[in-house]
Amino acid sequence: MEKDRTPYTADVGRGEPLPVSPSPSSDEPAESTTLLRISGSSFIFRHEGRCYPMTITQQDARKLRIWSGHHAVDVVVRDEKDQLLESWGYDATAAAAARELVAPMPGLVLSVAVSAGQRVAAGDPLLVLEAMKMENELRAEADCTVEAVHVTPGEAVGKKQVLVEFAS
């Protein structure tokens, strides 16, 4: 049985990631954890029945810096796709530091958007992998240079097969 996933989880480095609902509804229990945008980068964070005003700034594709009062905390956020990939044994946050992009699941390469020697920024699309009748766009986790592309469109790949290598 697959465990329930919330739209987002936030990991502040203190144990188990915290499930967070970005759009609270009136039927959610008071003890649920929610985040409500007030305006711009200002939010109200509700956790265990208490509300905390905060300001959130984005550091990169998955990292946020949260300010509450005069204290800042860096948080790693995982959306539903990240959580699903993680449940299949693929850790997207660990892949950010890796020199390789590996297939998170078996599938078919539909397109490749990069070539060897190309400079990419965090969040840039690298390739599209079709798996379980869904198109999954795999993106760069960090600013880097593509060293080698090991796949071509139409190629079937296995889980954890190296797709793209990055220069160190």
| Domain map (residue ranges) of the chain | 8-79, 90-166
Quick count: other Cβ atoms within 10 Å of Cβ 21?
16
DSSP class of residue 24 equals -
Residue 27, token pair as written in the block:
């039927």
pLDDT score of 93 more than 60: no
Amino acid identity of residue 35, one-letter, is L
The answer on pLDDT for 108 being more than 70 is: yes
Q: pLDDT by residue (tens digit) across 133-165?
A: 889 899 888 888 999 999 999 999 998 889 999
Structure-token match 């539903």, residue found = 80
Q: What pLDDT digit, counting tens, does each position of 43-66 carry?
A: 888 877 888 888 888 766 677 778
Q: From the CA atom positions of the chain, what is the Rg in Å?
A: 18
- Residue 164 burial class via C-beta count within 10 angstroms: exposed 0-12, middle 13-18, buried 19 and up: buried
pTM above 0.85, yes or no: no
Q: What is the pLDDT of residue 128?
A: 94
Q: Could you tell me which residue, 159 or 127, shows the higher pLDDT?
A: 127
Residue 103 — φ and ψ, nearest 5°?
-65, 125
Spatial CB neighbours of 94, under 8 Å, sequence gap ≥ 6: none
The yes-or-no verdict on residue 3 having pLDDT over 90 is no
What type of residue is 168? S
Q: What percent of the chain has pLDDT over 70?
A: 76
Q: What is the pLDDT of residue 59?
A: 60
pLDDT at 74 over 80: no
Contact 84, 76 (CB under 8 A): no
CATH architecture for segment(s) 90-166: Beta Barrel (2.40)
